[in-house]
Amino acid sequence: MGMFGLLIDETMCTGCRGCQIACKQWNGRGAMKTKNTGSYTNPPSLNANTWLMIDFKEVEVDGELKWSFLNRRCMHCEHPACVSACPVGALKKHDDGPVLWNEDRCIGCRYCMVACPFDVPTFTWDAGLAEGTKIRKCNLCIDRISNGLEPACVKACPSGALHFGERNEMIAIAQERLATHPQKYYKDQGIYGLNQAGGTTVLYISHVPFEEMGLPKLGDEAAGHVSETIMKSTPFVAVGWASILAGVWWVMRRRNEMMSKSGSRE
């Protein structure tokens, strides 16, 4: 089989979060404590235990209010900036599509977080440096697709909004839908991920503008080209900065714990 592709038809998504839960279950990711922020989006962003999330937004299109349920996750770029930015080769683009990370190689520098144009890689903040902080993100269910199974999120989707197969096949399906039912989709914006940032494994078609959904407006140039240029001139800056940030975070967390204990005594 050639390079994989994952097509997400946002017009068919109901915001049920079945994919979000299936991802957590299959990958053994735990829940996290959150607060009500006035939005249906929960958790508020991707994190070390949430590799896929549904981002709820109300979008006005031609004077009409519409719901947008963005399936936010790693895009598995064809020319990933995270791979070119990693100073130790902990991230790798596989020929069949997935961008994977090697936990044993990762040094927790977080330079991939800075390089990613989709703001995807997340950090295990709670682990602390002594326990070995690492990067986490969607791996496109490599253990499933390597054995002929579709990703857990696709398997769980009850509305058929997610489709998985060869990338060229996914593009053909998207093009057919856009041509057959143009009234369902937003004007002539086409397929997101077809060329953005050099092309991505994850593709979208939608009834609302991609930028309004939360997808960044990007050109066709691979984002990795920019990060490669930066890495040549500043190869170790990220490591030092990462250590500083981790230290500041630990101090703040420790201070909050002490304040909490003090308050409970009172």
- Domains of the chain, by residue range, sit at 1-260
Return the pLDDT at 266: 47
pLDDT digits (tens, 9 = 90+) for 85-134: 999 999 999 999 999 999 889 988 889 999 999 999 998 877 655 455 68
- d(C-alpha 264, C-alpha 266), whole Å: 5
pLDDT digits (tens, 9 = 90+) for 191-236: 999 999 999 999 999 999 999 999 999 999 886 655 555 555 444 4
Cβ 47 vs Cβ 32: under 8 Å: yes
Closest among 95, 131, 137, 143 to 115, alpha carbons compared: 137
DSSP state of 80: -
DSSP-H helix ranges across 4-126: 18-27, 81-85, 111-115
User: Taking all residues of the chain, what is their mean pLDDT, rounded to a whole number?
Assistant: 86
Q: Phi and psi (nearest 5°) for 147?
A: -110, 20
pLDDT digits (tens, 9 = 90+) for 16-65: 999 999 999 999 998 888 988 889 999 999 999 999 999 999 999 999 99
Q: Which CATH architecture has domain 1-260?
A: 2-Layer Sandwich (3.30)
